[in-house]
Structure 1
Amino acid sequence: MTALDDAPRAALDWHRAGQGAALATVIETWGSAPRPRGSQLAISSDAKLVGSVSGGCVEGAVVAEALDAMGDGRHRVLEYGVSDDEAFAVGLACGGTIRILLEPVGGTLPEDALAEIVARRARSEAVGQAVDVESGAVRVLDADALTDRIREERSGFDPDGKVFVTVHAPPLRLAVVGGVHIAQALVPMARLAGYAPTVIDPREAFASPERFPDTVLVHDWPDEAMEAFAPDARCAVVLLTHDPKLDDPALVAALASDAFYVGALGSTRTHAKRVERLREAGVPQDQIDRIDAPIGLDIGSRTPGEIAVAVLAAMTQALRRP
């Protein structure tokens, strides 16, 4: 999360600074929309913007409506039909319809509700904002109420079609066991894709700041490190040491967790031996079957950089197409 896309914080800061502020949320889109449901745009009274709700098709119109909403304190549901020509100009194949919920801060979006959302996001906690699109009533939802939505960051309407839930999921995390050459390529790629990476390797010469700048490095034994890392449904685990003494203990811990992706480097033959060791260690077969090995999508990768691309692609597929 950066200041470039933290729309809730920007809206709260502007409001507390005495400026008007509004928060726009995408609640419905056409199939090729560049921004999914739940995407947000903060607008200030002097037309500053943080975030986005489209590739540029409708932002100008939303700003004009936001200024009106700041004046009367009432929410709005906006609907825009985007022509094929307008869509093509921002990189879409065709036009369609986009619906946007616009909430003035301090009006139908209470300051205390927005402040709670911002605070929980800052603590990397899952939080949801439920809005009755007819009345504008807002509720802040705990993680327990978002169980089915968190992993995929799936914002959307409740079954009644009246309440829209915007999901603010915790940041994605990645544990890489083995500070090897592939990891040096994977870590910066994963960071660009929105992951907070941690490199685990008791060999300090491998997991060094020179090889992994600005990265959390853990030199504990992998099973202890994995227990401390505590993988959850927003975590991927990648094992790259090619050394059973290091990979296997971390693998056992990762497979028993809710991590959405667990991948291990090695050939088909190497993985067969790994499976036998895990069975002998008492790991259930359904957990063993979760391992992506040989690791990554089969795109013919050969170099460390290409293998890292394949691994990140497999992680993305597991996250977005479970």
Structure 2
Amino acid sequence: MLLMEKVAKLTRQNDTFALAMIIESKGSTPSHVGKMIVYRDGTIEGTVGGGLAEHYIIEESVKALEKGQSKIVEYKLNKHAKDGIQMNCGGTLRVFIEVYTSRPELVLAGAGHLGYALAKLADFLEYPYCIVDDRIGYCTKERFPNASNLFVNEDIGEAMLAANLNEKSYVVIVTKDRDDIALKMALQFPIAYIGMVASKRKVINIFEKLKSEGVTQEQLEQIHSPIGLEIGSETTEEIAISIIGEIIKLSRENKPIKVKQLNR
């Protein structure tokens, strides 16, 4: 597989990686052209010439991935030059390190009006998303044509389980009346984010119920409810914008929720 074909594949898979590309070389260098995929653990595919310069480029790529920011690095391949690295080539090398960060994978638990508005925003942002619901009439391909998957089950806990939640999952609970069941199931997985639309009284009641069923206080504190950024939202579409805004903001941190296996 050609390297750029692999880049396209990784992008489709919504993976996080960096692509290091030689953008300028002067004088004697190990290579004048080259591309290299660098993963978060420092493993690579491709090359930008090998040697000590490539070693430094890998290190800088990993740092760029940690910060989530692309950058340009430059090296003097001359151990006798000021700021040069321990190489004898004598030339200079400039490399662009482009960071590809995974997009939030939305799990929209609830196919009603707000779930629909969130799906439309996800379509615009090209965020992958799936729909979870217990109502066959709402959770349909006609209603959500761009959803990656539809998970429908009369037991919404089973529907949530089928969604295969993981560290990339940003779960938004907007169900009709099964919030506690959806929350309890979602909290069994190391998800990136979980938020729930609910009144203050409803939140208190649901949290007390979940505590009695073994959910820890630490887990409850990671649930975003009220959900969304405080922007004075009133309409369904405005609320959807505030929720997506919060997800965009928090996706930069990407700290998975701590889990505790619960009895179902």
Aligned to 1:140: 37
**1:217 to 2:150 alignment:** yes
Specify the alignment match of 1:155 in structure 2: 70
- 2:166 maps to 232
Superposed, 1:163-312 pairs within 5 Å as 165-215=97-147, 216-220=149-153, 221-243=155-177, 246-312=178-244
Q: Distance in 2 between matches of 1:256 and 1:152?
A: 28
Residue in 2 that maps onto 1:117: 7
Q: Give the fraction of aligned pairs with identical amino acids, expressed as a percent.
A: 27
Q: Secondary structure at the match of 2:137?
A: coil
How far, CA to CA, are the matches of 1:187 and 1:121 in structure 2?
20
Task: Work out whether residues 104 and 128 of structure 2, in 8 Å CA contact, stay in contact via their aligned partners in 1.
Answer: yes
For CA contacts below 8 A with separation 6 or more, give which structure has more relative contact order. 2
SS in 2 for 1:195: coil
Q: Would you say the 8 A contact 1:127–1:142 is kept in 2?
A: yes
Q: Post-superposition shift, 1:233?
A: 3.7
In structure 1, how many angstroms separate the alpha carbons of the residues matched to 2:190 and 2:72?
26
CA deviation string 1:40-61 (max 9, x = no partner): xxxxxxxxxxxxxxxxxxxxxx
Contact 2:108/2:132 (CA < 8 Å) preserved in 1? yes
1:263 Cα deviation from its structure 2 partner = 0.7
CA RMSD of aligned residues (A): 3.3
TM-score with structure 2 setting the length: 0.65
For the pair 1:126 / 2:16, whether they are aligned, the reply is yes
Q: Could you tell me how far 1:151 is from its partner in structure 2?
A: 8.8
Please report the TM-score for the alignment, with normalisation by the length of structure 1: 0.55
The 1-side partners of 2:173 and 2:102 are apart by 23
How far 1:205 sits from its partner (Å)? 1.7
User: In the aligned structure 1, how far is the partner of 2:105 from the partner of 2:185?
Assistant: 16
Q: State the alpha-carbon separation in 1 of the partners of residues 238 and 135 from structure 2.
A: 25
Q: CA deviation at 1:150?
A: 6.1
- Count of paired positions: 209
Alignment gaps of 5+ in structure 2: 43-60, 76-82, 84-93, 255-264
Question: What CA distance in whole angstroms lies between the structure 1 residues aligned with 2:182 and 2:66?
Answer: 22
1:17 alignment partner in structure 2 = none
Deviation string 1:76-126 (CA, Å, 9 cap, x unpaired) is xxxxxxxxxxxxxxxxxxxxxxxxxxxxxxxxxxx9433332333344443
